[in-house]
Structure 1
Amino acid sequence: MKKSLIAALFAAPFIAHAADAANDALVARGAYLSKAGDCVACHTAPRGKPLAGGLPMTTPLGAIYTTNITPDPDTGIGKYTEEDFARALREGVAKDGHNLYPAMPYPSYAKINDEDMHALYAYFLHGVSPVKQANRDSDIKWPMNMRWPLKMWNVVFLDKGAYHDKQGKDVAWNRGAYLIQGLGHCGSCHTPRGIAFQEKAVDESGSAYLTGSSLDNWFASNLTGEHNTGLGRWSEADVIAFLKTGANAHASAFGSMSSVINNSTQALSDADIAAMARYLKSLPATGGDGSPPYSYDAKATKVSLMRPPAHDSGARVYTAFCMHCHGIDGRGFAPMLAPLAGNPNVLEKDASSLINVTLNGTDDLVIQGVPAPYPMPHYAPVLSDQQIADVLTFIRGAWNNNTSAVSVDDVAKLRKATQVSR
């Protein structure tokens, strides 16, 4: 009896240490998964404390503000049980029973498996510093701000159930599908939405899935195998490079995708990034406008950029403000300076992203703590609406891009919208 007691006392510190190590590993796993979900991007306001909420999100009905998801017991989720936490992520229902707006990507998070949900709960309750910051009411006016219709929305549009591996697909494909469809919630931005703000497809079985969508004055790109506006000309290595660094031979990140690169994908393991690339490159070509596959043609530039004629405002603006970075041949100096010839964002029918990035520039890409050396500057104070329309029309017609012109009205409209939101 005495020997057993002594042995138990001797073993107790080691058992406690093992339990602490297991808990630390669980919290670390949850921290990794939270990066895969890019939680910090939406739940951190500019110059705000991490995960304390307050970031405005534009909806057709008015702005809503993200919530405090730190473990503060009064203003955050400190009193959430694991069941409460899982219900909020998978069903969009808060602890007090009110429904969350589907701007919170719970239709995607519904696919998170139980093991990962457990790790996420451990991280948010034990690995995040609590912040006492009250949540802000939305700007949506009564009666449109009533939450009870969201219960009906869930009945119609929410597909419950964690992701299950697809038969006939390998481990990497299924891992990529799980991350893209679930934690990565790529469809929330890159899939067009219907009249009820529902994603028109939630996986590759729907033809609209990841075909691109307008969002918050940007156009989130087509991620299918479409040759011109999608990833058809990208290799798996190109996709990996983009997710790791925000740039490759074809394009550079801008808008909210810069935040995704900075806060999420660059921190993921090589195996997970490769799996995501495998899945994306498996998607068939969908979307686009039926144009023939792009091929570069330097002679397709209709004017000489060395001496552009006075009547061609677009060419003259390009030589003065764009050519030194993007080149006389439109091919840029990838990956540091994006090409414009054949760039999927240039070939996209919706020019919102081109207008926005010309007006407002890009946020810094910060890879492993080092800012990218040549961010896109903002030209809103420098160029008129007419000049921006002219230069983008020139770019979209040059080097065999053969894409529609940009109207001055579209530039003016987006200038006004982004000045209000900035």
Structure 2
Amino acid sequence: MKNMLKGLGAALCVALPLLAQAPAGAATPAAAGAADQALVQRGAYLAQLGDCAACHTAPKGKPFAGGLPMNTPMGRIYVTNITPDAQTGIGGYTEADFARALREGVAKDGHNLYPAMPYPSYAKVNDGDVKALYAFFMHGVAPVQQANRESDIKWPLNMRWPLMFWNMAFLEKGPYRDKPGKDVAWNRGAYLVQGLGHCGSCHTPRGVGFQESALDESGSAFLSGALLDGWFASNLTGEHNTGLGRWSDEDLRTFLKTGANRHASAFGAMTSVINNSTQALNDQDVAAVSKYLKSLPPVGGNGAPAYTYDPQATKVSLDRPANDAGARVYTAYCMHCHGVDGRGFAPMLAPLAGNPNVLAKDASSLINVTLNGTGDLVINGVPSPFPMPGFAAVLDDKQIADVLSFVRAGWNNGAPAVAAAEVAKLRQSTQAGR
């Protein structure tokens, strides 16, 4: 059951970011006919906030034509065509049909959508933004005739009617309402984070029914970090070690626009979020998101005092020869990018000393990125010159466990050691099919 929920989490989390510019394959202005071009353009921006292309555009596929495979322990599902093609897409949807699918997870013909579609978050989207999104998908996206594929899930697990009861238990209907006593920027940030941004889909722990444990700041688990698909989505609360407590407003805004700051760099799924979504946010929305996230009280952590640097690990790694097995691996493979002192060369090369991802109790992200590396951050069309390489073919499980244990203990990081068995497990799950 645990593995099944984890796999479903991967499906839920896949809905990551969209295109940073006007979406490829968008229809020409003439094709929009009498549609309000300002409304279509607004819908295109909102679609970026909603990360629609991340799921609905397959690699090397046509924009929004679907076909992306998503693995679950029950079988593989394939994301649907949401272009305005009348036969295979959503060309026959009315605005009411579109709104119901977006906010309630029910298709035009009445069948329930899998909650890989983050409709519990999109339920908070207001009517005006739904109208703009509908205008974009009907008049700003080129129709593509591409039939949807049936899932590979076998009967009886492929029956969708039980999702009705899941919705009854866990779907909170109704658009976001401004919170009294909060200013315009805070409420805008809350609306974006909780709704179209659906940050909680990855960053909030799941309950027994695999529902998000909290959908807004009224729940203590909201955005406190969660393990999904071999990555640990970071704590976004004000916790001072594993969260954003030591980040200034400028630090957070810089990270959202560029994927790197003096504390950390994006990797894993967050690379796609930066590349295709958050870097495209306008300045007002970036500031609003930052203001809201910085307002969240601290949750999680290990109760340790706020991080302070200690150079002792540097002395250990510089011993000749280093007595610590992890230090030997660090000096051979890691030191040149992350520095002998663990402070890196931010923002180009991430620090390890005090990095919230290093301090987190769950080491899954560190293991995963060491094994498999990460994709390029591409900001304003320019790829990062120093992406993290993968070491799966270079280092064995014990060596990776040793070096990560050294890093997590060093420079006063004070995080738990990593076992070789943990590395072996993630190696098997993430390398399968490569």
Q: Give the superposition deviation at 1:308.
A: 4.1
Structural mapping, 1:304-323, within 5 Å: 304-305=317-318, 307-309=320-322, 311-323=323-335
Measured in 2, the distance between the counterparts of 1:372 and 1:397 equals: 29
> Once the two structures are superposed, what CA deviation does each residue of 1:342-383 show, in whole Å capped at 9, x if it has no partner?
101001111110011011111111111111111101111111
The residue that corresponds to 1:383 in the other structure is 395
The residue that corresponds to 1:11 in the other structure is none
Tell me if 1:401 matches 2:413: yes
Assess if the C-alpha contact under 8 Å between 1:40 and 1:263 holds in 2: no
Q: Which has the higher mean CA deviation after the structures are superposed, 380-389 or 327-336?
A: 380-389
Structure 2 gaps, min length 5: 1-29
> Once the two structures are superposed, what CA deviation does each residue of 1:17-74 show, in whole Å capped at 9, x if it has no partner?
9x96871111100000001111111222222222222223344544433222111222
* Equivalent position amino acid for 2:144 in 1: V
The residue that corresponds to 1:147 in the other structure is 160
Query: Secondary structure of 1:64's partner?
Result: strand
Structural mapping, 1:9-408, within 5 Å: 23-301=36-314, 303-305=316-318, 307-309=320-322, 311-408=323-420
Measured in 2, the distance between the counterparts of 1:330 and 1:140 equals: 46
Q: Give the superposition deviation at 1:421.
A: 5.6
Structure 1 gaps, min length 5: 1-16
Greater C-alpha Rg? 1
Q: Give the superposition deviation at 1:145.
A: 2.1
Measured in 2, the distance between the counterparts of 1:331 and 1:375 equals: 17
Query: Secondary structure of 1:183's partner?
Result: coil
Q: 1:233 to 1:63 in 2, by over 3 A?
A: farther
Query: Secondary structure of 1:214's partner?
Result: strand
Q: Give the superposition deviation at 1:143.
A: 2.2
The residue that corresponds to 1:10 in the other structure is none
Assess if the C-alpha contact under 8 Å between 1:301 and 1:400 holds in 2: no
* Equivalent position amino acid for 1:318 in 2: Y
Q: 1:235 to 1:96 in 2, by over 3 A?
A: same
Measured in 2, the distance between the counterparts of 1:404 and 1:115 equals: 48
Number of equivalent positions: 404
- TM superposition score normalised by structure 2: 0.90
User: Percent identity at matched positions?
Assistant: 75
Assess if the C-alpha contact under 8 Å between 2:35 and 2:139 holds in 1: no
Query: Secondary structure of 2:412's partner?
Result: coil
Q: 1:254 to 1:29 in 2, by over 3 A?
A: same
Cα RMSD after superposing both structures: 1.7
* Equivalent position amino acid for 2:350 in 1: A
Q: 1:78 to 1:300 in 2, by over 3 A?
A: same
Assess if the C-alpha contact under 8 Å between 2:314 and 2:342 holds in 1: no
* Equivalent position amino acid for 2:426 in 1: L
